[in-house]
Every structure is written in C-alpha cells, then in structure tokens.
Amino acid sequence: MKERMYHLNLKPEDGARFALLPGDPGRVEQIAACLDGARQVAVNREFCTWAGMVAGERVLVTSTGIGGPSAAIAMEELASIGVDTFIRVGTCGGMQLAVQGGDIVVPTAAIRMDGTSREYLPVEFPAVADFSLTRALADAAEQSGLRGHLGVVQSKDSFYGQHEPERMPVGQRLQADWQAWIKGGALASEMECAALFTVAACLGVRAGAVLTCVWNQERQAAGLSNPETHDSGAAIRVAVEAVRRLTDGGR
C-alpha cells in the first residue's frame, strides 16, 4: 500500500481534482452534506477530510485549521495527490461599512500580512485568486440573491491583533495599517487567503474563496447596527454551485 500524506493522512488513491477548504473542522460535515454520497476519508490534527461527488466529479472537503501555515500544508499535500482547483469556504470580519454580518465576500486578491506566503514568494508578488474560479464564485453568489461583495481581503496571522490591537506592543502599527487597508478598499479580514493564493501560484494550481461575513467591527465602532451570523450555509451553496459550473465545461 502507498504511503499516506504526513499531515492529512490521505492516500494517493484518495485524490480528486477539486477541494473545498473550510478552516473550521466543524464545517466539513456541513459542506459534505451538500455533496452526493459523501463519506469521511481521513482525520489527523486539524485536518478532517470527507469526499463526495458534484455533477459526477469527485470533490474533497478538507479543513485547514486556522492560519497560513496549516492552510499551506493542506494545499501542498492535496496538490500532491492531484487536486488542481481549491475553494476556501471560510469566514471573515467586515472592514468596509457596507460589508455586514451575513453578507457573502468573494475575494479577488488578499493583502499579504501573513508570514507563510513570505516563505514562498517575495512580498511584492500579489496574492491573487484564480480568475475563472472567482468568476464562477461571483456568478454563483449573484444567483444566490444574498448581498455579495467582490474585492480585496486582508489576511493576517493574529486574530487578536485585529480585534484588540491596543493590547499589543506593536498596536500603533497594526492600527495604522488597518486604516490604510480600509482606505485602499479592503472589504474584510481573515487568515488564510494570502497563503492559499500564493502557494497556488507556486504550485501552478487554481485557488479562490467564498467567505461568510460574521460581523463588522467598523460598523460597531461607528455606532451602526452590527448583525452577527455564524451560519455558513449560503457560502457553502455558492462554493458547490461554482464547482458545478466549472465541471459543466467552465474549465
């Protein structure tokens, strides 16, 4: 029998062309429930993998855990068993006032404030989502009827550096950068897109993402209503519909 992947515990014969990548292992089963004939394939550390079918195409669902290092590991090991199309199905916090809890965000690119992507390519190299994949995600999001946003997201390594920067010795820098990202139009903040888009460029595979906005700290600070949601159902449906569109001749 062939060797299993060191972290994901998958065998080469478990491979597929498509992978859906939530950060949270708790989201894997919810995504798998939208596939045909899904079953669990492997579990190790934060990496839980199920496999099922969409429009006759085998699709893997693998959790990446939180942050760039484990997301890069998941992408590397999945690519080594044949995955060439990756869709992160994640969550984010809104930065622009128009991006509210419950909205869908489809990233076109990610600000590389993470550490992992810098161990792949110099920081001047942009972390860009695959165009055909992003178009399929944006079309599927539009069809969903939910409020959706297409644009740049910010990827960082410290969740609490985002939410409590004033506690950090480098807080002034974090806050100044945060305001600059907002002025530049960054829609939302999350933790994996920059690593995934950069590693995908290095591996010659496609990567995109669809994110559920869970809340918006800027709306809170401005005294505006700040609806909060932890339901990723709509983003999951958008991701599965995008896979369907890509398997229907969109490649």
Ligand X SMILES: O=c1cc[nH]c(=O)[nH]1
Ligand Y SMILES: O=P(O)(O)O[C@H]1O[C@H](CO)[C@@H](O)[C@H]1O
Binding site for ligand Y (CB under 6 A): 22-24, 66, 90-91, 159, 190-192
Q: Binding of ligand X at residue 93 (CB under 6 A)?
A: yes
Stretch that binds ligand X, among 29-37, 85-93, 118-126, 233-241 (CB under 6 A): 85-93
Q: How far apart are CA 27 and CA 146, in angstroms?
A: 20
Question: Closest approach of Cβ 63 to ligand X, in Å?
Answer: 15
Give CA–CA dist 65/192, Å, rounded.
9
First to last CA, the chain: 33
114 touches ligand X by CB under 6 A: no
Of 106, 100, 141, 105, the residue nearest 228 (C-alpha) = 100
- CA distances 29 to 26, 40, 58, 225, Å, are 7, 9, 16, 32
Residue 192's binding partner out of ligand X, ligand Y, none, with CB under 5 to 8 Å set by partner kind: ligand Y
What is the nearest approach in angstroms of ligand Y to the Cβ of residue 93? 8
CB of 180 to ligand Y, least distance (A): 20
Q: Which amino acid makes up residue 227?
A: P
**Among ligand Y, ligand X, none, residue 99 binds (CB under 5-8 Å by kind):** none
Q: Which is nearer to ligand Y, 53 or 108 (CB)?
A: 108
